């Protein structure tokens, strides 16, 4: 091992996504088979003991690439020197909780984490927010890290992207590997828009290959957008291994690049592309190269897609306005 380890901070490390995520990071699937990693786990004090148990299991894995695991209950320490930050821990909505209460509770988590990233993370820090409401939590963290380039704050729609690929592959009876250029637009919520008008299957536009408007509008879009709720209904808990897998995919693609002729979906600060207000953290088609991403430009958006992108972006504007009113951004 000649390379210095990359510091990876994971919040919510004792949670169910954390349990599925940490072993894949330790095995080299996040950054590649030649990159050693040092894990910095952040938990709330009540869950530190459980995180210590997970750290014992990580040790028992004898992973050649794992250079060590440290556990913290203080964000300032956990983000010190972080090169990659996976912000998974969040306050879930509980019975009787209003939307404003949820945003406020999460503001109490993501504001200090943004400040800690600003104070101590490494210059090349890359942040992925997984904890819901992911786009707006990323917006809160970003707004408290003025010294970090805004584009380093991203939120996860890769799970939605993967779900959309899987549903399309199943409908057409093709392998997932035949599908390219899938896009999720907007918010990681039920308003998200999975776009089959730019996705390709074996070189053909997916919507044409499907040739079934009713399926596209009434089955495909709602199935992808409500898949998180369907998993909760079936499992009695929200998606964990698939979410961890998508988080691995998101960072791996950001660091290692998208394949030629393909792109991925990431929620990133808008530069005004496709009429999405600047600064909102919204999902776009992006290509990645040399550790940076670019929003794919020049796609034609028809009325069907425009209405759906606008609806999801309107929800993001509402969330931004609510957290602005609460003084969180």
> Which residues sit in the known binding site for NAD(+)?
12-18, 106, 113, 130-132
CA angle (205, 208, 209) in 5-degree steps: 85
Residue nearer to ligand NAD on the CB measure, 38 or 188? 188
Binding residue positions for substrate: 93, 99, 132, 163
Binding partner at 35 among ligand NAD, ligand LMR, none, C-beta below 5 to 8 Å by kind: none
Residue nearer to ligand LMR on the CB measure, 65 or 267? 267
Q: Are 270 and 46 in contact (CB under 8 A)?
A: no
Phi, psi dihedrals of residue 213, rounded to the nearest 5° = -60, -35
Binding residue positions: 12-18, 93, 99, 106, 113, 130-132, 163
Instruction: Spell out, one character per residue from 246 to 285, where the chain touches ligand NAD: x when CB under 6 A holds, - when not.
Output: ----------------------------------------
Residue 205 DSSP SS3: strand
What Cα–Cα distance (Å) separates residue 69 from each residue in 8, 215, 255?
10, 47, 22
Catalytic residue among 188, 198, 250, 252: 188
Identify the CA nearest to 51 among candidates 9, 94, 6, 114.
9
The CB-of-269 to ligand NAD minimum distance in angstroms stands at: 17
Which residue in the set 8, 165, 184, 231 belongs to the binding site for ligand LMR (CB under 6 A)? Answer: 231
The CB-of-43 to ligand NAD minimum distance in angstroms stands at: 5
Identify the CA nearest to 157 among candidates 136, 141, 134.
134
86 binds ligand NAD (CB under 6 A): no
Which residue in the set 47, 179, 210, 323 belongs to the binding site for ligand NAD (CB under 6 A)? Answer: 47
Q: How many CA atoms lie within 13 A of 5 on its CB side?
A: 19
132 binds ligand NAD (CB under 6 A): yes
194 binds ligand LMR (CB under 6 A): no
CA angle (170, 180, 282) in 5-degree steps: 100
The CB-of-189 to ligand LMR minimum distance in angstroms stands at: 8
CA–CA distance, 320 with 193 (Å, rounded to integer): 19
Alpha helices in 61-205 (DSSP H): 75-78, 99-120, 134-143, 158-172
Q: Two tokens at 11?
A: 């919040």
What's the full length of the chain, in residues? 329
Residue 285 DSSP SS3: strand
Residue nearer to ligand LMR on the CB measure, 243 or 247? 243
Residue 144 is a catalytic residue: no
Residues that bind ligand NAD (CB under 6 A): 11-12, 14-18, 42-44, 47, 88-90, 92, 109, 130-132, 134, 156, 159, 188, 238-240, 243
Active site residues: 188
Residues that bind ligand LMR (CB under 6 A): 132, 159, 228, 231, 238-239, 243
């Amino acid at each position: 091992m000649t390379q210095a380890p990359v510091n990876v901070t994971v919040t919510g490390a004792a949670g169910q996504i954390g349990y599925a995520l940490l072993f894949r990071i330790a095995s080299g699937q996040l950054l590649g088979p030649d990159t050693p990693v040092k894990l910095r786990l952040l938990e709330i004090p009540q869950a530190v003991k459980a995180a210590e148990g997970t750290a014992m299991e990580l040790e028992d894995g004898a992973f050649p690439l794992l250079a060590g695991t440290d556990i913290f209950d203080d964000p300032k320490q956990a983000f010190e020197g972080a090169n990659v930050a996976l912000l998974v821990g969040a306050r879930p909505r509980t019975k009787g909780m209003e939307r404003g209460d949820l945003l406020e509770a999460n503001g109490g988590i993501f504001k200090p984490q943004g400040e800690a990233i600003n104070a101590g993370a490494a210059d090349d820090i890359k942040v992925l927010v997984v904890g819901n409401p992911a786009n707006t939590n990323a917006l809160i963290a970003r707004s408290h890290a003025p010294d970090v380039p805004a584009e380093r704050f991203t939120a996860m729609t890769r799970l939605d992207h993967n779900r959309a690929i899987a549903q399309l592959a199943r409908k057409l009876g093709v392998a997932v590997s035949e599908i390219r250029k899938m896009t999720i637009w907007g918010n990681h919520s039920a308003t998200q828009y999975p776009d089959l008008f730019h996705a390709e299957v074996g070189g053909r536009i997916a919507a044409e290959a499907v040739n079934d408007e009713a399926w596209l509008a009434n089955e495909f879009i709602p199935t992808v957008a409500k898949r998180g709720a369907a998993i909760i209904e079936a499992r009695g808990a929200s998606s964990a291994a698939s979410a961890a897998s998508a988080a691995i995919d998101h960072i791996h693609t950001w660091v290692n690049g998208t394949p030629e002729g393909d792109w991925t979906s990431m929620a990133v600060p808008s530069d005004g592309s496709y009429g999405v207000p600047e600064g909102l953290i919204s999902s776009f088609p992006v290509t990645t190269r040399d550790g940076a991403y670019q929003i794919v430009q020049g796609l034609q958006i028809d009325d069907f897609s425009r209405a759906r992108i606008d609806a999801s972006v309107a929800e993001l504007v509402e969330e931004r306005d609510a957290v602005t009113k609460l003084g969180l951004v």
